[in-house]
Amino acid sequence: QKEVEQDPGPLSVPEGAIVSLNCTYSNSAFQYFMWYRQYSRKGPELLMYTYSSGNKEDGRFTAQVDKSSKYISLFIRDSQPSDSATYLCAMSKQETSGSRLTFGEGTQLTVNP
Amino acid sequence: GAVVSQHPSRVICKSGTSVKIECRSLDFQATTMFWYRQFPKQSLMLMATSNEGSKATYEQGVEKDKFLINHASLTLSTLTVTSAHPEDSSFYICSAASWTDGYTFGSGTRLTVV
C-alpha cells in the first residue's frame, strides 16, 4: 500500500468551476503538507504549505488538512485555463529541510475555456 | 523567492556516454539537495539525498555507481549519469532545501539517450 494516495484523474472542468483535489495518507507521522503545481516538462512549484488541521487560504487556493481522517484537499476557486497542470500533494514527517518529501501520484487538471 | 537553476534543460546523448546535470541554488544556501526522476504521467521518484561535503544517500534500487552525485558546496550539486543507456532516458529534477525557504525545485532536465 502506498503511503500517499492521490487520484491521478484526468480531471476536466469548465472555466470558472471550483476544483477539488484530494490526497489520503496512511502514516500518522506525516505532519507537514504541501501542494505543488507542475506544468508539462517543468519542475514543481509550491502552491500551499500547511501544518495544522484546518483551512489555509491564499487567493483562489484553499488548502484543507484533516489529520484525524488523514485527508488533505486543495480547492481552486474560479478556475482558469492557466490552472491546467498536474497537481501533486506532498508531505513530510519533520519540518527540517533535510526531511524527504513523499509525493502523491499527481492529478492532471484541464480547465477548458 | 528562492530560485534553483538546473542545467541543461534538455540533453540528447549517445549510448555509452556520460551526462552531467547541474543544480544551483541562486540566492540561498541549500542544506540538502534531492535528486528525483520522473517518468511520463508519473510522480517524482526520489533517487538520492545529498548534504554538502558528504556522500549522497541513495534510495533502494538506485545504482550509486551509475548516478554519481557531487555536492561540493552549499549552492551546487551535480548528477552525472555514467555510461548512459536508452532506459536512462527520463526527466530528472533537483530540489534544494533550506531552513528559510523550504523545498525549491529546479526546472528539470529531459535526458534522451539514443
The amino acid present at B55, given as its one-letter code, is K
Contact A101 B34 (CB under 8 A): yes
Closest CB from B42, B97, B110 relative to A98: B97
Q: Distance between CA atoms of A88 and A44, rounded to whole angstroms?
A: 8
What are the residues facing A75 on neighbouring strands? A20, A62
Confidence of residue A30 (pLDDT cuts 50, 70, 90): very high
Q: Distance between CA atoms of B23 and A102, rounded to whole angstroms?
A: 21
Q: What pLDDT was estimated at residue A96?
A: 62
Q: What pLDDT was estimated at residue B111?
A: 97
Is pLDDT of B100 > 80?
no
Distance of CA B108 to the CA centre of its chain: 8
CA distances from A43 to A17, A78, A101 (A): 26, 24, 15
CB atoms within 10 A of CB B20: 15
Q: Residues for chain A: how many in total? A: 113
A9 vs B: CB within 8 A: no
Confidence of residue B80 (pLDDT cuts 50, 70, 90): very high
pLDDT tens for each residue of A34-90: 999 999 989 999 999 888 888 999 999 999 999 999 999 999 999 999 999 999 999
